[in-house]
Amino acid sequence: MTGRVAFVLKGYPRLSETFIAQEIRALERRGLEIEIVSLRRPTDVKRHAIHGEITARVWYLPEYLFSEPRRAFRAWRHWRGQAAYPRARAAFLADLRRDPSANRIRRFGQALVLARELGADIARIHAHFLHTPASVARYAALLRGLPWSCSAHAKDIWTTPAWEKREKLASLDWLTTCTEAGRAHLAALAPSPTKVSLVYHGLDLARFPAPEPRSARRGTPAVILSVGRAVPKKGLDDVLDALARIPPDHAWRFVHVGGGPLLAGLKWRAAQLGLGDRVQWLGARDQGELLALYRSADIFVLASRMAPDGDRDGLPNVLMEAQSQGLPCISTRFSGIPELIEDGVTGLLAEPGDVQALGTAIVRLLSDDAFAAGLARAGQARIRARFSLDPGIEVIRALFELEPRPCASPSTRR
Predicted pLDDT of residue 23: 96
Supply the CATH classification number for the domain 4-202+388-412.
3.40.50.2000
Distance CA 190, CA 130 (A): 13
3-state secondary structure of 250: coil
- Say which CATH topology domain 222-386 has: Rossmann fold (3.40.50)
How many other β-carbons are positioned within 10 Å of the β-carbon of residue 221? 14
How many other C-beta atoms lie within 10 A of the C-beta of residue 117?
16
DSSP letters spanning 107-129: HHHHHHHHHHHS-TTEEEEEEES
Residue 362: partners with Cβ closer than 8 Å, 6 or more residues away: 224, 242, 243, 246, 299, 301, 330
Domain range annotation of the chain? 4-202+388-412, 222-386
Q: What is the pLDDT along the chain (414 residues), one digit of tens a residue?
A: 678 999 999 999 999 899 999 999 999 999 999 999 999 999 888 899 999 999 999 999 999 999 999 999 999 999 999 999 999 999 999 999 999 999 999 999 999 999 999 999 999 999 999 999 999 999 999 999 999 999 999 999 999 999 999 999 999 999 999 999 999 999 999 999 999 999 998 999 999 999 988 766 555 899 999 999 999 999 999 999 999 999 999 999 999 999 999 999 999 999 999 998 999 999 999 999 999 999 999 999 999 999 999 999 999 999 999 999 999 999 999 999 999 999 999 999 999 999 999 999 999 999 999 999 999 999 999 999 999 999 999 999 999 998 886 554 443 333
Nearest to 374 by CA among 385, 387, 364: 364
Residue 217 is predicted with a pLDDT of 59
In this predicted structure, what is the pLDDT of residue 251? 95
